[in-house]
Amino acid sequence: MSISSDMWKRALKIAERIRKEDDFLIVTHIDADGITAGSIAAETLRNLDKDFEIRFLKQLDPLTVKSLREDGRLLWFTDLGSGSANIIGDAIITDHHEPVLEVPREKRGDILAYVDAVETATEYHLNPHLFSHNGSTDISGAGTAFMAARSISKTNDYLSALAIVGAVGDMQAQKTGRLTGLNRQILEIGKKAGVLEWKMDISLYGRETREIHRMLQYSNDPPFPGLTGDDKASIAFLLDLGIDLKYESGEWRRWIDLADWERKAIINALINLVLDYGFPAREAERIISEVYILRNEDEGTELHDAKEFSTLLNSCGRYGKAEIGYRVCLGDREEYLEKARALLQGHRQVLVEMLNHIKDGGIREYGSIQYFHGGNSIPEEITGTLAGMALSSGIADPDRPIFAFTEKDTGEIKVSGRGTQAMVERGLSLSEIMKKAAEKIGGAGGGHDIAAGATIPKGSEEEFLKMADRMVKKQMKI
Ligand code: C5P
Ligand code: C5P
Ligand code: ZN
């Protein structure tokens, strides 16, 4: 029996449990994967005529677990919960984060202060890590929630579209340019249900909604030397290729409006640009990737393309408005979609302003690394995004890891670290750095090799940088 069929068996068990209960509290994460996962759970319960409420959390801490346990309704955790599985007790968990099933002996006292029993909840716990699958690439939180939804009824198969938006939002296709593993099964289900299709196309953000030159100008993944960040250069580049930027009516053309020859010409020119600049062929290949299309949405809207849809949801969650994204997922195409669009617009403006601010304020080198400090002018929710953009847009040195500091409302300091695939291949592990360096100075952190974050005490930035520099040198053998 294949490992994924074991996972479907677990999903079936969860489905049976859901059928038996009447009143639920869905608890989910605030990012695109969390919002879609929560929406899948909500739709599933709504389709069964069950009572439920949904709550969005930035993170799950023991104190919150304690109060949730006292709620009385059956808890359904989506896109979070696995990391607290040892203290959650009886609940449904559909998640893809690293599970914590046991409480370390030395922490028992702390944990017991919050909950009266330390249990291992695996019976209704669906997580790829428990079945030898990869939680970063095979399936996301929304995907695991979808497995439960489908196990209740195949009439829920239309929810596969949201599951794919969640996976794309969590960058599960990033490494290879296409979704793999269980995500592939979900794609096939969505195709059969008529809600999903996919094809190879340009991987840039805004394929359906942006003027072509803006799509180039704002691209930072991969960045286009000379075009990224420069609207005049992007326009000239297109005119040189003989591409009309506007229709005769004066309306701007988008990527989806172009003829085949025009798209081919642009892709070829971009590939040459990247190669001429000395980037590895792998970078050039990333210009093309699989794109995922939600067939029931209108072409040319943010909801038709999974990547754009997930970006829209992320801008809701980042500004404390996950609920708005949730309403859009549930089908609101008027009031809430307008609100979500306004948040996305605002988010873009904030990013542009902040990036200019960083450009002016300067990024400082510190041994093998570089950093900037936002003081209290950068919202903590976007430090990671900004650090990533600074690195990929060429504002920062593309060859060293970057760290961004900002002051949180609590007075503590939030740090975000970002690297590149090439650095990771040379040994960089930002999660290790965040975890170890933060712990040494009384903070806490973690994440992935390529992207990680931490919270540290104010005033300890210098000490943190010193340790980070030393660790990077060791990891990357500098
Ligand atoms: O906040 P930021 O975007 O920089 O976070 C990057 C990654 O680091 C995320 O995966 C997040 O879950 C992780 N992280 C963490 N502990 C923190 C902050 C971030 O594990 N205190
Ligand atoms: O763990 P968490 O999902 O919260 O981390 C998300 C952040 O980590 C994203 O904002 C993204 O910038 C970064 N990330 C990345 N490449 C990966 C995984 C995460 O850049 N492969
Ligand atoms: Zn997730």
How far, in Å, CA of 106 to CA of 297, rounded?
52
Whether residues 100 and 151 share a domain: the answer is: yes
316 pLDDT higher than 60: yes
Whether residues 28 and 135 share a domain: the answer is: yes
Mean of the per-residue pLDDT values of the chain = 92
pTM above 0.75, yes or no: yes
86 pLDDT higher than 50: yes
Whether residues 278 and 417 share a domain: the answer is: no
Say what the alpha-carbon torsion angle 316, 317, 319, 324 is, to the nearest 10 degrees.
40
Whether residues 390 and 259 share a domain: the answer is: no
Stretch 52-79: mean pLDDT: 94
How far, in Å, CA of 434 to CA of 452, rounded?
7
262 pLDDT higher than 50: yes
Stretch 347-363: mean pLDDT: 85
* pLDDT score of 455: 95
How far, in Å, CA of 255 to CA of 411, rounded?
45
Residues 6+ apart with CB under 8 A from 116: none
* pLDDT score of 106: 62
Residue 464 lies in a domain: yes
* pLDDT score of 105: 61
Report the 10 Å Cβ neighbour count for 104: 10
Domain holding 411: CATH number?
3.10.310.40
- Point out which residues pair with 196 in neighbouring strands: 294
Whether residues 24 and 172 share a domain: the answer is: yes
Residue 384 CB–ligand 2 contact under 6 Å = yes
Stretch 440-460: mean pLDDT: 92
* pLDDT score of 107: 64
Residue 244 lies in a domain: yes
Domain holding 99: CATH number?
3.90.1640.30
Whether residues 271 and 372 share a domain: the answer is: no
Residue 228 lies in a domain: yes
Nearest-5° angle of CA 203, CA 204, CA 207? 100
Which residue minimizes the CA distance to atom 9 of ligand 1? 447
Whether residues 70 and 157 share a domain: the answer is: yes
Residue 350 CB–ligand 2 contact under 6 Å = no
Whether residues 153 and 110 share a domain: the answer is: yes
Whether residues 188 and 232 share a domain: the answer is: no
Residue 344 lies in a domain: no
Tens of pLDDT, residue by residue over 117-134, are 555 567 899 999 999 999
Question: Of the candidates 278, 293, 308, which is a domain's last residue?
Answer: 293
Residue 416 CB–ligand 1 contact under 6 Å = yes
Tens of pLDDT, residue by residue over 386-399, are 998 888 777 889 89
Question: Of the candidates 293, 312, 330, which is a domain's last residue?
Answer: 293
1 pLDDT higher than 50: no
Whether residues 219 and 183 share a domain: the answer is: no
Whether residues 159 and 113 share a domain: the answer is: yes
Residue 128 lies in a domain: yes
Pick the atom of ligand 1 nearest to 454's CA: 21
Q: In testing the pocket of ligand 2, which one of 28, 448, 455 has its CB within 8 Å of the most ligand atoms?
A: 448
Whether residues 17 and 155 share a domain: the answer is: yes
Question: Of the candidates 137, 162, 194, which is a domain's last residue?
Answer: 194
| Dist. CA 474 → ligand 3 center (Å) | 31
Residue 420 lies in a domain: yes
Residue 158 lies in a domain: yes
The H-or-E segment that residue 289 falls in is: strand 288-294
User: Which ligand lies nearest to the CA atom of residue 391 in the structure?
Assistant: 2
Q: How far is CA 384 from CA 158, 224, 259, 272, in A?
A: 33, 21, 37, 30
* pLDDT score of 329: 98
* pLDDT score of 302: 95
Tens of pLDDT, residue by residue over 9-33, are 999 999 999 999 999 999 999 999 9
| Dist. CA 368 → ligand 3 center (Å) | 31
Q: Which domain holds residue 373?
A: 362-475
Residue 304 lies in a domain: no
* pLDDT score of 197: 98
| Dist. CA 397 → ligand 1 center (Å) | 22
> Total domain count for the chain?
3
Which residue minimizes the CA distance to atom 16 of ligand 1? 445
* pLDDT score of 43: 98
Q: In testing the pocket of ligand 1, which one of 82, 408, 416 has its CB within 8 Å of the most ligand atoms?
A: 416
